[in-house]
Amino acid sequence: MSSIGWVDLDGVVNMRDVGGLPTADGGSIRSGRLLRSDNLQDLTPGDIRHLVEVLGVTDVVDLRSDVEYHAEGPGPLTRTELTHHRHSLFRDDEVEVTVEDVLVLPWQKEGTRQRLRSHDDDYWASHYLGYLADRPDSVSAALRVVASSRGATVVHCAAGKDRTGTVVGLALAVAGVPDEHIVADYVATGERIERILDRLRHRPAYADNLRGRPLEDHLPRAETMARILQVIAERFGGATGWLHEHGWTTEETDALRASLRG
């Protein structure tokens, strides 16, 4: 796998550009198109200048739930001219969502979402597949931003691992990145998981629920992302099939692929 494109700023820990990942036909993902990140609440003015003026960010996709958004606030990037897109991966309008839900804490009981999740016995993968089952509208909308943005898009949630990993994994699959490289990109978050959790423990939305919890419960496992990709392949013929099942046209998936390819 190519080297990880970490973006080291003062106000984030888990931001990276997925550019450089190889595609199955010998191409690669273009740098400066898709960045994945943890919580953006602590960005400094210098961080913001770097994102806008150096990295060319034009769009931000916020996958946080309503409970997180209201507890944390909109964040400093909302005071810029960037275009912001909020697409929760939870059914906030139908059920009460707690911080325990959004952090996918494995010591909590399983939820009631069963459609895609019932086909999987991996705790984390079942949650990720639940995002696709419960909020295909939000996942589709997030990917449409990536397909149509003028510059780079930052996709983020709290840790930049679970919800962000699901959306970015689909984007990379549509662009033709082989599964093993999508898995490796997902697992890369583990290199910084301790620092990620340290950040969240000082944030108002997450501090109480993370206090005293073991680090090992949050480590990304390769088999989790591999399982998601396997289920999507078995059920829909792959990420492109999943999108077409949920209303995308061939032209739209071609646009997403073209936006990411070098």
Vertex 80 angle, CA 139 and 157, to 5°? 30
Locate 44 and state its tokens.
């400094």
pLDDT of res. 93? 57
pLDDT of res. 247? 96
pLDDT < 70 positions in the chain: 1-2, 93-122
User: Domains in the chain, please, with CATH?
Assistant: 5-257 (3.90.190.10)
- How far CA 211 is from CA of 39, 160, 217, in Å, comes to 18, 19, 13
State the DSSP string of the chain: -PPPEE---TT-SS-EE-TT-B-TTS-BBPTTSEEEES--TT--HHHHHIIIIIS-EEEEEE---HHHHHHH-S-GGGGSSSEEEE--SS-TTTS---HHHHTT-TTSPP-S--TTGGG---HHHHHHHHHHHH-HHHHHHHHHHHHH-SSEEEEE-SSSSSHHHHHHHHHHHHTT--HHHHHHHHHGGGGGHHHHHHHHTTSTTTHHHHTT--GGGG---HHHHHHHHHHHHHHHSSHHHHHHHTT--HHHHHHHHHHHB-
Vertex 20 angle, CA 63 and 87, to 5°? 10
pLDDT digits (tens, 9 = 90+) for 6-17: 999 999 999 999
Residues 6+ apart with CB under 8 A from 172: 18, 21, 29, 181, 182, 185, 260
pTM of this structure: 0.90
pLDDT digits (tens, 9 = 90+) for 152-173: 999 999 999 999 999 999 999 9
pLDDT of res. 62? 97
pLDDT of res. 24? 97
